[in-house]
Amino acid sequence: MTDPDGVARVYRQEYGRCVATLVRVLGDIDLAEEAVQDAFTVALTRWPATGLPPSPGAWITTTARNRAIDRLRREASRADRHAQATLLYHCDEGQEVGPVRDDQLRLVFTCCHPALAPAAQIALTLRLLGGLETPEIARAFLVPEATMAQRIVRAKHKIKDAGIPYRIPTGAELPRRLPPVLAVLYLVFNEGYAASVGADLVRADLCADAIGLTRELAGLMPDEPEVAGLLALLLLTESRRPARTAPDGSMVLLPDQDRSRWNAELVAEGQAIVRACLRRGRPGPYQIQAAIAAVHSDAPTAADTDWSQVLALYDQLNAIAPTPVVALNRAVAVGELHGPAAALAEVDRLELPTYHLFHAARADLLARLGRADDARSAYERALELATNEAERAFLAGRLSGVGAG
C-alpha cells in the first residue's frame, strides 16, 4: 500500500528528472509538465492499491510518455501530429545528445538561453528542475507570487514563440550561459536546505540534485573557478545538515550545532576545493561564499570562529556582488565582532520587508540589547512571514522566550 504522502515524496524526488526527460523527448515544456502531472494523478489512484513500483521515476516517465502519445493522437489534426506521436512512441529514451549527459543539466542550460531575462531563466528552471511551486519560487526571489507567476508564463511563451531550440550549447556558448545556471543550482540547493513550506526543514532530494548537477557541471567545465566555488559552497553547507535539526525535527542554529555530527568527508572535500580556488587567484561570489563556509568549518566550536576573517570576506563579497542579503549576513559578523548595537545600525539601513530572516536577525539583536518590546514585534513579523513549520516553531520559541520590556 502507498498513501498520498508516499506519492508526494516521489513527486518531490522525481518530478524534475521526469520533466527533464519528457522535455528532451517532446520538445515542449507545457506538454511535458502536463504529461508528468497527469502521470502523478494516475499514481494517486493506482499506487495506494498496487503499492510503490520498483522504479517510481521510470513508472512516471513511461506513463507520462504514454499520456503524451494519447494526447497528440487525440488532438492530431494534421499528419505531422500523427508523425510526432509515432516518433515519440519509438524514441530511444536512452539516447544522449551533446556533451551534457544528464537530462536535468541539459534542461538547465536550455532554460538559460540568453533570449530570456535572467530572472525568468532562473524562475523557469526552478519550476521545471525541482518541481517548486510558484509561491516557493517567489519566496526565493523575494517578490509577490503574482509577479513570479507572470514571469514563468512569459518565459514559456518566449521559448515557444521565439523557437528557442532544445539543444545542448556548444563549448563556445557554455561560459555565456554559466551565471544563470550557477544561480539556478544555488537556489535549488537553498530551497532544499531551507524548504519554503512543509513540516520538514530540509528537502534532501533537492540538495542532492543540486550537488549532483554541480558536480557534473564541474566535470564539464573544469577550468571555471566559480563552478568549483559553488561546488565547494554546497558541499560545506551540506556537511552541516546532520546537525541542523534535533531528533524531534526542530531547527538548530549554527552556533548551537554539535559539530561532531558534521560530515567530515564533505568538509574535507569542500575545503580542498576552496584551497584550489585560492591558488587560482580569480575570486568570484561563489568562491568567496565557499571561503566563508570554510572558515566556519575550521572552527572546532562556535566560540573559535575567526569572525574578523569572516567579516573581511563579506566585505570582499559585498564589493563585487552587493545585495541586501549579503549585507544582512555581513551585519551578523559585525555583531559578533563589534556588538549588537553596531550590527543593528547596519541592519536598519536595509530594505528587506518581506524576508523573514531579516526580521528574525533584527529581533535577535534587539533582544540582545534588552529592547524586549521591539524584539517581540520583530519576532512576530518574522513569524508572520515564515512559511516552513520547523522555522515557525523555532521563531515561536524565540518569541515566547523574550521577556516583557
pTM of the model: 0.82
Tell whether the model's pLDDT for residue 21 goes beyond 60: yes
Cβ atoms 50, 4 nearer than 8 A: no
Tell whether the model's pLDDT for residue 395 goes beyond 70: yes
Identify the pLDDT of residue 80.
Answer: 52
- The more confidently predicted of residues 172 and 87 is 172
Burial of 291 (0-12, 13-18, 19+ CB in 10 A): buried
Tell whether the model's pLDDT for residue 242 goes beyond 90: yes
The average pLDDT across 116-122 equals: 83
Identify the pLDDT of residue 90.
Answer: 46
Contacts of 326 by beta carbon, 8 Å cutoff, 6+ apart: 314, 317, 318
Identify the pLDDT of residue 84.
Answer: 55
The average pLDDT across 56-85 equals: 75
Tell whether the model's pLDDT for residue 139 goes beyond 50: yes
Tell whether the model's pLDDT for residue 79 goes beyond 60: no
DSSP H helices, 221-284, are: 225-238, 264-280
- The predicted-structure confidence for 283-320, as pLDDT tens digits, reads as follows 999 999 999 999 999 999 999 999 999 999 999 999 99
Identify the pLDDT of residue 99.
Answer: 43
- The more confidently predicted of residues 331 and 92 is 331
Identify the pLDDT of residue 95.
Answer: 42
Identify the pLDDT of residue 29.
Answer: 87
Q: Please report, for residues 149, 226, 259, 397, the alpha-carbon distance to residue 274 in angstroms, rounded to integers and kept in the order given.
A: 37, 11, 20, 36
DSSP H helices, 101-257, are: 103-111, 118-130, 134-141, 145-161, 174-193, 204-220, 225-238
Cβ atoms 82, 151 nearer than 8 A: no
- The predicted-structure confidence for 341-390, as pLDDT tens digits, reads as follows 999 999 999 999 999 999 999 999 999 999 999 999 999 999 999 988 88
C-alpha grid cell for residue 386?
A: 515564515
At residue 168 the predicted structure's pLDDT band, cuts being 50, 70 and 90, is: low
C-alpha grid cell for residue 303?
A: 566560540
Identify the pLDDT of residue 215.
Answer: 93
Mean residue pLDDT of the chain comes to: 86
- The predicted-structure confidence for 218-231, as pLDDT tens digits, reads as follows 988 899 999 999 99
Lowest mean pLDDT among 86-100, 113-127, 330-344: 86-100
Identify the pLDDT of residue 328.
Answer: 97
Residues of the chain by 3-state class (helix, strand, coil), percent to 5: 75, 0, 25
Residue 367: how many CB atoms within 10 A of its CB?
21
d(CA 127, CA 125): 5
What is the tally of helices (H) and strands (E) in the chain? Answer: 19, 0
The average pLDDT across 124-142 equals: 79
C-alpha grid cell for residue 226?
A: 566559480
Lowest mean pLDDT among 120-124, 250-254, 287-291, 344-348: 120-124
Tell whether the model's pLDDT for residue 195 goes beyond 80: no
The average pLDDT across 19-27 equals: 84
Identify the pLDDT of residue 50.
Answer: 87
Identify the pLDDT of residue 76.
Answer: 61
